[in-house]
């Protein structure tokens, strides 16, 4: 209603200011009118959507158990950080930076697994999320130990131990990301009935 009122006043202002050659006021009226028209269009689209989803033949959307893109992004970040760790040219400060990235993303993955396991009614999925979180946590702990040793003595032997510790973590995270991408856990978008007409 407010947008309709503003649009009507703006149209009158456009006409009046054009006749009187009041250019700044004319511009203000055009600007106010365009904002009101955008508001009306947005409201009409929202109303059409509400009509569509309220149809008995429409299907409501469902939020997924997990966000597979979160798992994929975390997997990519961890894989890159691990590759940096095993790079012979990696400096001590780059090792610590990579360790921070690994810790941040593995922690987020473990929390997402904990949440998913508490939400799913599927006992097999529940166990798998718990087991995956344990594997990620354990392999992360092993990598952190080797990173601490490398930070304490930045030598080739500790580099090799660090390199060896990245493999199991990358595998655990990769397996978890693959499991989380199962369509069973994905969001289901709302489906508006094709019988609904917006004309």
- Give tens-digit pLDDT for 54-80: 777 777 667 778 888 899 999 999 999
- How many C-beta atoms surround the C-beta of residue 193 within 10 A? 13
Output the pLDDT for position 65.
Answer: 85
Q: What share of the chain is helix, strand, coil (3-state, %, to 5)?
A: 80, 0, 20
Round to whole Å and give the CA distance between 117 and 75: 19
Bridge partner residues of 131 (DSSP): none
pTM of the model: 0.65
Round to whole Å and give the CA distance between 61 and 144: 41
Phi, psi of 41 (to 5 degrees): -65, -45
Of the two residues 138 and 49, the one the predictor is more confident about is 138
- Give tens-digit pLDDT for 28-48: 999 999 999 999 899 888 887
Output the pLDDT for position 112.
Answer: 94
Of the two residues 105 and 59, the one the predictor is more confident about is 105
Output the pLDDT for position 44.
Answer: 85
């Amino acid at each position: 209603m407010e947008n309709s009122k503003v649009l009507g006043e703006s149209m009158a202002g456009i006409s009046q200011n054009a006749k009187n050659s009041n250019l700044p006021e004319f511009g203000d009226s055009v600007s106010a009118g365009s904002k009101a028209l955008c508001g009306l269009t947005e409201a009409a689209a929202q109303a059409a959507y509400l009509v569509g989803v309220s149809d008995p033949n429409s299907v409501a959307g469902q939020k997924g158990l997990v966000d597979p893109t979160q798992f994929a992004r975390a997997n990519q970040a961890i894989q890159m950080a691990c590759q940096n760790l095993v790079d012979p040219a990696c400096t001590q400060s780059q090792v610590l930076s990579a360790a921070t990235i690994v810790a941040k993303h593995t922690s987020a993955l473990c929390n997402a697994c904990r949440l998913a396991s508490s939400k799913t009614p599927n006992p097999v999925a529940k166990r798998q999320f718990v087991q995956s979180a344990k594997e990620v946590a354990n392999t992360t702990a092993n990598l952190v130990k080797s990173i601490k040793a490398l930070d304490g003595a930045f030598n080739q032997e500790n580099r090799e131990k660090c390199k060896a510790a990245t493999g199991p973590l990358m595998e655990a995270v990769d397996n978890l990301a693959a499991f989380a991408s199962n369509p069973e856990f994905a969001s289901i978008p709302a489906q508006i009935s094709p019988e609904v007409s917006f004309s």
